Structure 1
Amino acid sequence: MRLPLHLQAQLASGLRLRGQGYTTRFAPSPTGPLHRGNLRTALLSWLEARLRGGQWLLRIDDLDGPRNRPGAEAAILNDLRWLGLDWDGPVVHQSARRGLYATVLSALRQAGRLYPCRCSRRLLADVSAPHGALAVYPGYCRDRAPFWGAQAGRLPSWRLRLEPGVLRWQERGGPCGGQDGPAAVGDVVLRRADGVVAYHLATAIDELLMGISEVVRGDDLWPSTGAQVAVMATLGCPPPAYAHVPLWRDSRGERLSKREGAEGLAGLRSRGMDAPAVIGCLAASLELVPPGSRLSARELASSLSPEAVKACQDPQRT
């Protein structure tokens, strides 16, 4: 598909940045404090960047305004600083990039890669998967005459028309990742009916333009990868590599309870833990240091090799 020249230039610049060295990012949403799982992922991605001589970028995924909480972003930045996790360059805010996302949506729409969808949540709930996860969109609106205006006072959402085929990406710590586009991903929403740019579009565009060479995140986000890779493929761009970190589990191999997993720095500090103790706790959960270790983030980085950090992400270990 043909893209505006300035968008082509931006995408090309992002791919050049990716080729210049290792770059990863940490991208929390300002919906509340960072919990233990977030903190561990932040530390792990920061270690990857520092041990590889690369960059650790910080992006605030704040597009969904109603879910953002006052003071949450400041608390996130303060937590990272308190732990000694320094980022490179200015903080990137998705809310400041709405014009960019709108340009991409306009180009996709003009190229016929989007179609309007008027399916309600109630209708889609009838095809929902177990545990409340939505099944692949069945394509009810795919072949209808496209009308983009309001009907009954409601605008449509915008869906990406996926082509047949398997979406593939490089997955570190396991086999090459892949999801069948029509069967496992489906025609994902890129612009919601309320006008908010969808997570998959914004994330895919940002990974490309920020020059991200590897995305380090929790493996609960693995199912989202195919949709984001589909957006990148539609724009003619290869995806970055991905490292989906196994979720934090207890000594019995069970996922941390919601209460344990949700505890952030405030709870840890109320128990008398300072920054070296917290870094030691996070690193010990990855078997990078013995339990009870106390050290700064910089001291931890200086004691490790890239191979050690890579090994701790093995899905069979954590």
Structure 2
Amino acid sequence: MLEALPAHLRGELLSAKATRQKHQRGRFAPTPSGPLHLGNLHTALLSWLFSRLQGGEWFIRIDDLDTPRIQSGAEAQIFADLAWLGLDWDPPIWRQSERRGLYSSVLSALRRTDLVYPCRCSRRMLAHLSAPHGAWPIYPGTCLNKRHSWGEVQGKLPSWRFRLEAKVLNWQELGAETCQLNGATDVGDVVLRRADGYLAYHLATAVDELWMGIDSVVRGTDLWVSTGPQVALMQLLQQDPPQYWHVPLLQDEQGQKLSKGQQAPGLATWRSEGGTAEQLIGSWAASNGWVPPGSTLSPSDLLKELKNNPQKWLAQFKVMGLF
């Protein structure tokens, strides 16, 4: 598939690969669909720490392809919240909405491999796949062997699905042995372009990790299975995936994960109750066993603490060989 890309994109990909081999690069990739909740910000802190502890770069990527979900002012609030916490980032700011041409070129090359096929299943047809407790829904292959048209039928375009073969997909999970999923039985054929024309999460994310030269991805455990199709896309481009660290999600008092859908509290609530950034960072650091309970410190203070006592970091997350 690499050969199917335009020459300038192959050159960009190889350049990004060289950068990744020389420099540690991490990223935080929020969707501006509303205020960040405390769980988002906790993951941002861990991602920032992981990059900064290794002297690496830390980028912000705005995942704003799903236009109907975008809320006015949300992007500016993301930057304001990160700055209030004391998390600094490296330029430039990456926005997926500015990179649609890149994604479309990769998708066109992928289609020529015959690993993408048109699917005309509606959401209602697949509603029964919504598994309980957030389990990953496996597409049953309804359209896999059908000869659907790529064009409009009764005014509707098909979605484009990625054909995942029954083979093992491997990646390196920090603090664990190499992880693996079976493409066919654990992941299934995911959508790369929706029927409404919007490019889907897996395609854009996989492409961005490679073209940005991302070396490590720190994100929540709810995205663990998503790593499978993203790794498969990277392998088709003959590239190694970054190392991953899927961190536990913050939960509310009822044991439910914090989410935007449930309107989980963010910094506005914290600040309205008189909380400071240093108190919040201190509470998170204490919950990870890095500082005593009741500590107040900034991200830069915490960074110095962990640099001076690397065993605290290594013991808590079992990430070996980083220092």
Same fold (TM over 0.5): yes
> Match for residue 308 of structure 1?
312
Question: Is this contact kept in 1: 2:36–2:78, CA < 8 A?
Answer: yes
For 1:127 and 1:298, locate their aligned partners in 2 and report how far apart those are by CA, in whole Å: 45
- The answer on whether the counterparts of 1:35 and 1:265 sit within 8 Å (CA) in structure 2 is yes
Alignment CA distance shift 1:83-1:200 (3 Å): same
| Cα distance, 1:214–1:290 mapped onto 2, change above 3 Å | same
Equivalent runs, 1:1-318 vs 2, <5 Å: 1=1, 2-3=3-4, 4-131=6-133, 133=135, 135-249=137-251, 254-255=255-256, 262-305=264-307, 306-313=310-317
For the residue of structure 1 that corresponds to 2:306, the secondary structure is: coil
Shift in CA distance, 307/221, structure 1 to aligned 2, threshold 3 Å = farther
Determine helix, strand or coil for the equivalent of 1:37.
Answer: helix
Q: Counterparts of 1:261 and 1:37 in 2: how far apart (Å)? A: 12
- Return 5+ residue gaps in structure 2 as ranges: none
Displacement of 1:312 in angstroms is 3.1
Counterpart-to-counterpart distance in 2, 1:313 and 1:97:
34
Identify unmatched segments of 5+ residues in structure 1. Answer: none
Change (3 A) 1:16 1:270: same
Alpha carbons of structure 1 residues 146 and 211: separation in structure 2 relative to 1, 3 Å? same
Q: How far apart are 1:95 and its partner, in Å? A: 0.5
The letter for the 1-side match of 2:205 is T
Alpha-carbon distance between aligned partners in 2 of 1:228 and 1:112, rounded to the nearest angstrom: 18
In structure 2, relative to structure 1, the CA distance for the partners of 1:303 and 1:211 (3 Å cut) is same
Retained in 2: the 8 A contact 1:28–1:61? yes
Cα drift, residue 123 of structure 1: 1.6
SS of equivalent to 2:173: coil
TM-score by length of 2: 0.91
Q: Distance in 1 between matches of 2:315 and 2:269?
A: 29
Paired AA for residue 312 in structure 2 = A
Contact 1:212–1:240 (Cα < 8 Å) also in 2: yes
Q: Tell whether the 8 Å contact from 1:41 to 1:216 is kept in structure 2 after alignment.
A: yes
The verdict on how the C-alpha distance between 1:258 and 1:38 changes in structure 2, with shifts beyond 3 A counting, is closer
Calculate percent identity across the aligned residue pairs: 56
Q: Is the 8 A contact 1:248 1:285 kept in 2?
A: no
Deviating beyond 6 angstroms after TM superposition, the runs of 4 or more aligned structure 1 residues are: 257-261
Write the deviation string for residues 89-146 of structure 1: whole angstroms up to 9, x where unpaired: 1111001101110111111112222111101112212344334655211211111224
- Alpha-carbon contact 1:171-1:243 (below 8 Å) kept: yes
Tell me which amino acid in the other structure corresponds to 1:281: S
Could you say what secondary structure the match of 2:87 adopts?
A: coil
Matched residue of 2:225: which SS? helix
What's the TM-score once normalised by structure 1's chain length? Answer: 0.92
